[in-house]
Chains A and B, each alone.
Chain A
Amino acid sequence: MKIRFMKLVISSLILLPLVLGLSLKVNAELTDIGSPTPGINVKSPDHLNDTWKTPINNAITAWNGTATKVTIGYSSASSNTITAAQYSDTWYGLNTQWRSPYKYTIQLNARTITRDAKNFSNFVKGTAVHEFGHCFFLKDNPNTTLPSIMKYSNDFNTVTTPRPYDIDDVNSVY
């Protein structure tokens, strides 16, 4: 009798961290389209002026500096694009993703960003980090109290980098 209990205790103690670890991983709220590989490319936005190009660069550097497998590189042959213009609409940014072959297009809205930016380069960087996050399956407005670059309530004047919650989500994919 005692031995059976001991076996139960020991197996529970071994299983417990495993199961808890698993359940933490699947807490990620993910979209169903994103890059199949952690390394993505984008055509360098050479048509943009430096006021836009520099913060977009900073957004790419921010992702490349995370403790994840994801990388974003410039490639002239890439069919993935990032651009900006004054769009007659209310969004800050748009990321359109095709499944197969995988491809994405990011559009940033100079109209709304210029209107709401107190720190312009932070705002562009934060919006671009958010939009690239969608390429890695991150979902808008994750249901968490933790900070996330994917929340609509973010102020991109100050929030400009992937947060630990986002990094955990990305690491649950790749």
Chain B
Amino acid sequence: MMTSKWISVISIFCLTTVLLAACGSNESKPDNDRSAASDVHKSTAGKQEVLIDASFPKYNNLDELENRANLIIEGRVLSSTFKFLNVAERPSQPGDDQLNPGTTPADSPPIPYTIYDVEVQKVYKGAVTEKETIQVKQVGGENQQTIFKVNDTSELKEEGDYIMFLATFDNSPASLLNPIQGSYELVNNQIIASDKNLIKLEINDLKQLTE
């Protein structure tokens, strides 16, 4: 009697484990399934899908973000356009082999970018003025033939309001410091960080920059 009870307990345990493991394996898969499904969806639109993976520096806290950005604004996205840009610069400081790998801009393939026109609402750091329109670029986007898909990015929405931490360049539109930590959406005066951004930001933090 004792043995049969013991056996049934073990069997139930084993069965449960097997079932749970089976469920678990179904659950850990959807990332692939979902992207495969979205491929089918996209291919019906007849566009080729190209994947761009970009790796960026990660920032540990708000101080690092504020120090690295040379432009911090609240801005409204007015419109966006898609363009291939060659953002490679002509070699500078000859003799510095690290800064100058030996290439010229012609050696670099152009990169697909979405370029946003952003109207500056407030300036927290940097040399722009309120109501000025600046351009912000982000890798990826789509044209008639191709979707240049970037994983792990938060796209800026037209007519959306954002706090942006930007790097500016002489010969090219500004860039967010990275796609996750470089922008915060503003909705009803609430600052909303993207899912994977663990750095909290409040308006008072920004006001301190201008004091």
Residues on A close to B: CB < 8 A? 1-2, 5-6, 8-9, 12-13, 15-16, 19-20, 22-23, 26-27, 29-33, 47-52, 81, 83-99, 105, 107-108, 110-114, 116-117, 120, 127, 130-131, 134, 139-141, 152-153
Contact = CB atoms under 8 A, between A and B. Distances in A.
A102 B99 CA distance: 31
A94 B4 contact: no
By secondary structure, the B interface counts as mixed
Interface of B: 4, 7-8, 10-11, 14-15, 17-18, 21-22, 24-25, 28-29, 31-32, 35-36, 39, 48-58, 87-89, 91-92, 96-103, 105, 107-109, 111, 137, 139, 148, 151-152, 167, 169-172, 175-178, 180, 182, 196
B110 to A, nearest CB: 11
B173 to A, nearest CB: 9
A23 to B, nearest CB: 4
By secondary structure, the A interface counts as mixed
Contacts of B22: 19, 23
B25 A110 contact: no
A54 B25 CA distance: 42
A83 B107 CA distance: 8
Given A9-B7, A30-B31, A86-B89, A94 B18 contact: no
B139 A85 contact: no
Contacts of A29: 31
Contact of B101 (A33, A49, A88, A116): A49
Nearest to A143: B31
Contacts of A108: 101
Q: Which of the listed residues B17, B53, B98, B102 has the most CB atoms from chain A within 10 Å of its own CB? A: B53
A98 B112 CA distance: 13
A86 B151 contact: no
Given A30-B31, A85-B103, A94-B111, A51 B98 contact: yes
Contacts of A1: 4
B50 A91 contact: no
B31 A85 contact: no
Given A32-B35, A48-B103, A87 B87 contact: yes
Nearest to A22: B25
A8 B15 contact: yes
Given A5-B4, A32-B39, A114-B98, A90 B151 contact: no
